[in-house]
Chain A
C-alpha cells in the first residue's frame, strides 16, 4: 500500500503538469476554436529560452522571468498575430496543419541552435523528502503539485470570480453578443493566448528538471496533454484539469500494476473508452456553444 501512495503522489505531480498543458488546449479552443498541435513544443521551448539566458550569464531567477516574458511574447502574442490570425481566415483545418508545421519548426530550430542532446535543467524545488502521513514523499513531487494547483486555482479564480474573467468567458461563448455589450473581444482572446503562454512556461519550468531539456521532449507532453484534454472534456477548463490528473495517475498505476511494457497503451485505451461512451469527455459539455 505504501507503494500505492507513492505512485499516487508521483502520478498526481506528473498529472498536474499534463493539466497545465491541457488547460491551454481548452482555453484556445474556447476562444478561437484553435487546436494547437504545437502545444508540446510550447512547453519545451521556454526551458531552452531560460537556458539561453543562463548561458548568457543571467542568474536562475532572472532567467525564469526572462523565459516567461519571452514565452508570452513569442508563444502568446507572436503566435496569435503571425500565425493564428492570418490562418484563421482559411478555416480550422489549415490552421491546425499550420500548428503542426510550427511544432516541427520549433523542434528543428532548437535542435539546430542548441543541440540534439539533452541538457540538465535546475529545479526550483529543492530535492529531498518530507514526511507525509507516515510516508517519505519527495519535495519535488509536492512542489510541482502545489505550484500547478496554485496556477490552476489562480486561473479558475480569474475566470469565475473577476470581471475580466467574465468578459473572457463571454467572448469565448458568444463573441457577437459580447461585442454588443461592450466586451473588447479581441483583447480578451489575446489575453487567453498570453495566459496559455504563461501556463506552458510554468509547466516547462516544473517538468524540465525531471524530463531534461531536449528538443524532442514536447512530443510526449503534447500527446499526453491532448489525450488529457479530450478525456476530461475539450471545452471545459475543469475537464482538462481532471483529465490531466487522471492520465498522470493512470499512467503510473498502469506501469506498476499492469505492465511497464504496455503503459503507453493504457491511456490510449482509456481515451477510446471515454470517446465511445462520452464523446464530449468526462466533464465536457455536449453542446459546443451556449448563448
Chain B
C-alpha cells in the first residue's frame, strides 16, 4: 500500500514538473512556397530567430517556446486546411499567414477555437470584422494608405496618378483606400490597372501607364511582381516618380530588380534600414544567421513572437483564452522588451500604432527619408 502511495506521489510530482517544464507550443502557417515565398520565408526566419533568442535566455515564464511551421503554398484554400490542422493540435497562439486573402479565410477558424492569431496581412478589412482574436504585426491599409496618398499629393505634387494593383484581397484593399484618398485630396487617377498575382509580363500594363502620362505612379503588387514591373517601367523608359508601400522597396525587390529599383519610394511600417538601434541590431543578428538582409516580413515574424512573450509575461501565466484580452489596448515599450524593437500599442481592433518611415531606394539601398510619428 505504501509503495502504491509512494509511486502515485512520484507520478504526480513527475507530471506536475513535466507540465511546468513543457514547451509553449506556437503554430505558424506561412507562404513557404508559391507567389508569397519571399514573404513566408522571411516571416518564418524571423520567428525562428526570436524563438532561439528567447529560449537561450530561459524562455517565457521559465518555459521554452516551440513552433511548428506549415506551408500555405500562398494559396488561401491550402492555408485554411493548414490552419485547421494547426488548431487541432491546440497551439498557444497561431502565427501567420502573411497574405491577406489567407488571413481572411483562416481568421474565423482561429476565432472559433478561441486562439489568438498574430498575422502579417495588411488588408484594411481584416481587423474591421469584429474578430477579437486577430492582431497585426504591421499597419493595416487604413493607416498606411492615407499617408501614401498624402505623400503623393503633398510631396510629389502629383496632379495625375496611375494606380497599378494586384488583383487579390491585399491589392484590392490598398487600391480602394488609396484611390479614395487621392480623390479626396484632389489628385486625379488617370489609369487604374489591375494585374494578376504571378504575372510575368508587364509590357502591356506599362504601355498603358505610358499612354496615360501620369505625374506619379503608385505600384501596389507583391514582391516578385513589383520587381518585374520595375524592370519593365525602366525598360519602357517611364520617368514619372514611383511610389509604393513596403512591397515596392523591400530588400528582395531591390535584389531582383537591380538598377530598376533606384528612385522608387515607399511608405514602410517596418524596415531594417530604420534609424533605430534595436532594429539595426536585429538586422545584424538576422543577416549573420541567414546570410541575407531580411525584408519587413522578417521583422514581422520576429515581432510576432515577442508579442507573445510580452503579453504572456504581462499576464504572468500561459493562458490562451486570456491572451487576446490582455493584448487589446496593451502598450509594449522597447525599453522594457527590446525584442519589440519600437514602442507599440494595440487597439481594440487588433490594429497597431507605432512610428513608420518614408523610404527611397538609392543606389540599390533603402534610405529612410522621413520618420513618421505614432498616430496616437
Contacts and interface: CB of A to CB of B under 8 A. Distances in A.
B195 A260 contact: yes
B166 to A, nearest CB: 11
A217 B37 contact: no
A182 B210 CA distance: 60
B102 interface: no
Given A118-B256, A127-B234, A260 B203 contact: no
A123 to B, nearest CB: 10
B349 interface: no
B224 interface: yes
Given A7-B207, A14-B203, A212-B227, A116 B41 contact: yes
B207 A117 contact: no
B62 interface: no
B214 to A, nearest CB: 15
Nearest to A118: B224
Contact of A120 (B41, B200, B208, B258): B258
Contact of B237 (A111, A118, A136, A260): A136
Contacts of B256: 118-120, 212
Nearest to A258: B204
Interface in A122-158: 127, 129, 136, 138, 140-141
Interface stretch (A20-28, A87-95, A248-256): A248-256
A263 B204 contact: yes
Interface residues of B, number: 35
Nearest to B252: A117
B236 A138 contact: yes
Contact of A118 (B38, B210, B235, B259): B38
Interface string A258-270: 0011011000000
B198 interface: yes
Contact of B227 (A115, A118, A216, A217): A118
A7 B37 contact: no
A217 B256 CA distance: 15
Contacts of B348: none
Given A120-B256, A129-B237, A256 B204 contact: yes
Contacts of A117: 37-38, 41, 252
B62 to A, nearest CB: 36
B37 A116 contact: yes
Contacts of B32: 116
Interface in B227-252: 227-228, 231, 234-237, 252
B211 interface: yes
Interface in A71-95: none
A138 B235 contact: yes
Question: Which 9 A/B pairs are nearest by Cβ-Cβ distance?
Answer: A255-B204, A10-B203, A116-B37, A256-B204, A116-B33, A138-B235, A211-B200, A252-B204, A118-B224
Given A7-B207, A10-B207, 11 more contacts: A3-B208, A11-B203, A14-B201, A117-B41, A127-B235, A129-B237, A211-B200, A212-B228, A216-B34, A256-B204, A260-B204
